[in-house]
Amino acid sequence: MDNTSKSVLFYAYTPKESYHNVYPMAKYLKEHGLMPKAITLDGHIKVIDAIIDVWPSVLIQRCQYHIQRQGLSWLRTYPKTEAGIALRVLLNSIMNIKTNNDKAMFMKNYDNWLNKYKVFIKTLPRNSVANIDLKRTMALINNALPNMFHYLKDQNIASTTNLLENFYSQLKHHYRSHRGLIEQHKIAYLKWFCYLKSCKNNNIF
């Protein structure tokens, strides 16, 4: 979906997100003239690999909401440690990062958190729930950081995939009203929904 026109550029009926499903789509779009400056997506590594293989210079903007949601899920609603509670507070601030000053404050707070709790985390039993939860949430943030804030430099870059997720939610809502469709009709339904909602004004693809 294009973030500025809000129109669907391409759609396909596939069993799952994977390199082998995404790569042909991206290649098709490139062959038809699409050269995106940035793409906002979640942290699916194989999907990112497929995108980079087609468009090596494209900016990958990690969806802020997915980072927040995944981190909060791993830390659980009620963390058992002070470090976990503090990291949840930090994650809850992600969606409020609107300026470079907000970014700087987030980075400072995260550095302070690391300095305060890194020794404590090392003392946790290796297989304990707290240790596993904290370390994978830290890895999530560390891996996302290089691609978390491109949207601050260009207002046309979406900070989240919420626009697309909302479109997909509408699709699923209407789709559930037509349960029992055979595979061929499911694919036809997908095509018509996308066309009637968005693609009728798109003359590119």
Q: How does pLDDT run across 60-114, given as a tens digit for each residue? A: 999 999 999 999 999 999 999 999 999 999 999 999 999 999 999 999 999 999 9
Give the pTM: 0.88
Q: What is the pLDDT of residue 204?
A: 41
Q: Is residue 155 part of a domain?
A: no
Token pair of 177 as six digits: 């009203």
Do 71 and 137 belong to one domain? Answer: yes
Report the alpha-carbon distance of residue 144 to residue 48 in Å, rounded.
Answer: 12
At 19-52, the pLDDT tens digits run: 999 999 999 999 999 999 999 999 999 999 999 9
Q: Is residue 154 part of a domain?
A: no
The domain tally of the chain equals 2
Do 35 and 68 belong to one domain? Answer: no
Do 140 and 169 belong to one domain? Answer: no
Q: Is residue 132 part of a domain?
A: yes
Backbone phi and psi for residue 112, each to the nearest 5 degrees, phi listed first: -65, -40
Report the alpha-carbon distance of residue 167 to residue 3 in Å, rounded.
Answer: 12
Give 183's pLDDT tier (boundaries 50, 70, 90): confident
Q: Is residue 9 part of a domain?
A: no
126: three-class secondary structure by DSSP: coil
What's the CA angle centered on 13, arms 8 and 19, to 5 degrees?
90
pLDDT(203) > 50: no
